[in-house]
Amino acid sequence: MLIFPLTALLFAASSASAQDIIYNAAHNVTPITGTWSSGSRHVVTGPGFANPSQETFTYPNTTGVGYSFSDDGWYEIARYRFASNASEPNCIIGTVVWAHGHYELVGNGSIILTPVGDGYQQVQAPCAATSNFIQNYNFTELFDHWQIFMDPTDGPKLHLFQFDGSPVAPLFQLSPDPNMLPKQVLRNVSANVVTTTSDGLVSTETLASRKKKRSAAPELKQPMGMVAGLVVMAMVSTLL
């Protein structure tokens, strides 16, 4: 059976790295396990955000990002954001992402998040040929390093640094327990179909999103007061 060696491997990896992680005021005041959310803390992993079997989302009232980490090696991510296009400022691209999988705390201080393949995202790109759709989202993420500080008013605050050293918005701890959907594959991605859109882009769709196509995915409405928080994402083009 394949499951056993995989579990053994994950266990070995996390127990090895646990020795290397120093819990002190200068580095990590608490373990990373728990539920974390940025900004106004409305973007939270778990059943209040995503329903993978239906490929739907409950859109939070503000943009942001949420992570959960369990002590048995699972992570979950929830992300809701809008990004402006520098050359076409009116083409604001909205993305909603849900994914989960296994994380590894590497001894050198990095974190590697490896998805199990059932993640999905909604992309709303008003200026693109296909303006609002749902597609698979299965990207491995590497965080170069991470730190948890004790904020006098907000409590434990997790800082994740991307592969290029740039920080993710600070994440506040909502709970020391992870708020997660079941730790198993939650969506049948073998039912995927690959289509070519009229502008020549190849996209992977799922049967569920095809069924919804006629009514299209629900419209994303930018929450009020978020224009100042717009980020320009060069990466978006690779996601479309």
Report the nearest approach of ligand NAG to the CB of residue 88 (Å): 4
Q: Do 111 and 140 meet the contact criterion of CB atoms below 8 Å apart?
A: no
Rounded CA separation 236/202 (Å): 15
Residue whose CB is less far from ligand NAG, 216 or 240? 240
Rounded CA separation 204/96 (Å): 16
| Residue 236 binds to ligand NAG (criterion: CB under 6 A) | yes
Report the nearest approach of ligand NAG to the CB of residue 5 (Å): 15
Handedness of CA 179, 212, 186, 111 (dihedral sign): negative
Rounded CA separation 43/85 (Å): 23
Number of residues that bind ligand NAG (CB under 6 A): 26
Residues in 52-81 at the binding interface with ligand NAG, rule: CB under 6 A:
58, 60-61
| Residue 197 binds to ligand NAG (criterion: CB under 6 A) | no
Give me the long-range contacts of 207-215 (CB less than 8 A, separation at least 24).
208/54, 208/55, 208/134, 209/55, 209/133, 209/134, 209/135, 212/55, 212/134
Selected binder of ligand NAG within 51, 138, 197, 204 (CB under 6 A): 138
Q: Do 220 and 122 meet the contact criterion of CB atoms below 8 Å apart?
A: yes
Selected binder of ligand NAG within 108, 166, 184, 198 (CB under 6 A): 108
Residue whose CB is less far from ligand NAG, 30 or 138? 138
Report the nearest approach of ligand NAG to the CB of residue 152 (Å): 27
Selected binder of ligand NAG within 90, 140, 153, 198 (CB under 6 A): 140
- DSSP structural state of residue 189: G
Q: Which stretch binds ligand NAG (CB under 6 A): 11-19, 105-113, 170-178, 215-223?
A: 105-113
| Residue 238 binds to ligand NAG (criterion: CB under 6 A) | no
| Residue 208 binds to ligand NAG (criterion: CB under 6 A) | no
| Residue 142 binds to ligand NAG (criterion: CB under 6 A) | yes
Selected binder of ligand NAG within 188, 193, 201, 231 (CB under 6 A): 188
Q: Do 129 and 197 meet the contact criterion of CB atoms below 8 Å apart?
A: yes
Identity of the amino acid at 115:
P
Rounded CA separation 55/189 (Å): 11
Q: Which residues bind ligand NAG (CB under 6 A)?
A: 42, 58, 60-61, 85, 87-88, 91, 93, 106, 108-110, 114-115, 117, 138, 140, 142, 144, 188-191, 236-237
